[in-house]
Structure 1
């Protein structure tokens, strides 16, 4: 057992600092706000810019990235755990120049792995991180103990809300929960399904001011996506609206949100520990146990 533990520590320490993917978690305080639609269409927009993008669906039990893409998901994260497949083997391709990993029913098992499986997971995650420009984690609604390590390890967190009071309250509660665990997490706010631009901006500004007032936390506003019937049409066709209606106002707004994000990142000079290195620390201290 000592030999295994020493090998595990050696594996962690040997992971190099080669260029890794930019990692983004897309979250919401409650379900039904269009989080997965935002994740999927942003990923496609990033791919259109020439980036290699992977969407990692971690909305366990409710995962629908493959449905929004109109594709089947022959494998999921469950196959990594139960059938000893590598993450590369369960990555699915799409006709939209993005790849995806489907959600399974065993994400909680990742938090209680034996040393050998944990070592394999870290190995797999690092390999994927070196193969993509962006990895987008589509998380379940809210923040749970099982998802927290991913949320505080990613480079940035996109928070999707709607103007509904319950959605706003839940979005704030979710950010507060994450902040209690990591004050360094960077949040970016998106208001989806607003009737008017002004309504969406007021929603985001209220969230921004609340975070500053009660948590002394600066958050960035990315923008507003208006309620649009073409989104429902695209979902019914199981084709992303960015593909089905590329010249629509909402597709162009996706480009604007990403440009706003790029502008904020470009003006930030804070050196952040990268995703794989954060996960190494968390797993080393809390999860990597030889059983």
Structure 2
């Protein structure tokens, strides 16, 4: 039994209510994966769920920067035996906490058996305390990251409408699927210029997965290119909090609602109300 299967079995052995473990991945960097993870986690928390966001890009994480929060401890401290898993958890807001992946790492992290065991023990504890565990994985696929992805209940794959990003996302899903054909996938297209771009990208990916791998995937929808998202990054605050009425925020809120309610609905750009469109028109004058 490999390490991923051992971790999965460890999670399944818990008889108490368990958190849903979600790995958020991308085929390459620069698609807004971490920003999505943060805002997705924040909106799940706003709906009354206890959520823990974990930056698993160990040594090169940026979740703490995007959140404008800092911590003296990160996941590597715990893996190396420096305290309990609770010691590296930072509370951000009501129902939302995070674990930093650390940054500025000057060595390559190779998990040893003891660290894998500590990871399993830590997750066993966390699954009893939260409704959702969200793992923001590093871009691409590493051996260490794959172990964790294989143990998750679901994998959310982030892409953009660019052909190279779509191909990278497909390659990532195929890579995971070949190791675990039962793994559940959900797809989101980020930074689209219009809803049609998102629909085309998602349906291309969905069709390829179905045709070549006989695998159905859940289509979450797409998020629009939105200048307020960049402003929120500069202000180190989730865009759904800082600009709740922006197009990206409204769309993501609807996506989270459909996701939490297990609605098989594909959500794209939420249209502005008439008064908002009219206001925008006069501002251009």
User: Same fold per TM (> 0.5)?
Assistant: yes
CA distance in 2 between counterparts of 1:78 and 1:22 reads 23
Any gaps of 5 or more consecutive residues in structure 2? 1-9, 266-285
Contact kept, 8 Å, 1:58 with 1:107, in 2: the verdict is no
Q: TM-score, normalised by structure 2?
A: 0.83
State the 1:163 CA deviation: 0.7
Task: Quote the residue 2:205 is aligned against.
Answer: 207
Any gaps of 5 or more consecutive residues in structure 1? 1-11, 268-291
1:127 equivalent to 2:125? Answer: yes
Task: Quote the residue 1:109 is aligned against.
Answer: 110
- RMSD over aligned Cα atoms: 2.3
Contact kept, 8 Å, 1:69 with 1:239, in 2: the verdict is yes
User: Which digits, 9 at most, give the CA deviation of each residue in 1:199-254, with x for residues without a partner?
Assistant: 11100000000111111110110001000000000001111101101122211211
CA distance in 2 between counterparts of 1:13 and 1:56 reads 17
Contact kept, 8 Å, 1:26 with 1:39, in 2: the verdict is yes
Q: Which of the pair has the greater relative contact order for Cα pairs under 8 Å at 6+ separation? A: 1
CA distance in 1 between counterparts of 2:125 and 2:264 reads 26
| Larger helix share, 1 or 2 | 1
1:41 equivalent to 2:39? Answer: yes
Task: Quote the residue 1:62 is aligned against.
Answer: 60
CA distance in 2 between counterparts of 1:188 and 1:220 reads 4
Structure 1 263/93 Cα, relative in aligned 2: closer, same or farther at 3 Å?
A: closer
- Aligned residue pairs total 254
User: Which digits, 9 at most, give the CA deviation of each residue in 1:26-58, with x for residues without a partner?
Assistant: 100000000000000011100100011000100
Contact kept, 8 Å, 2:189 with 2:198, in 1: the verdict is yes
Structure 1 96/192 Cα, relative in aligned 2: closer, same or farther at 3 Å?
A: farther
Q: 2:26 aligns with which of 21, 24, 28?
A: 28
The secondary structure found in structure 1 opposite 2:45 is helix
Q: TM-score, normalised by structure 1?
A: 0.81
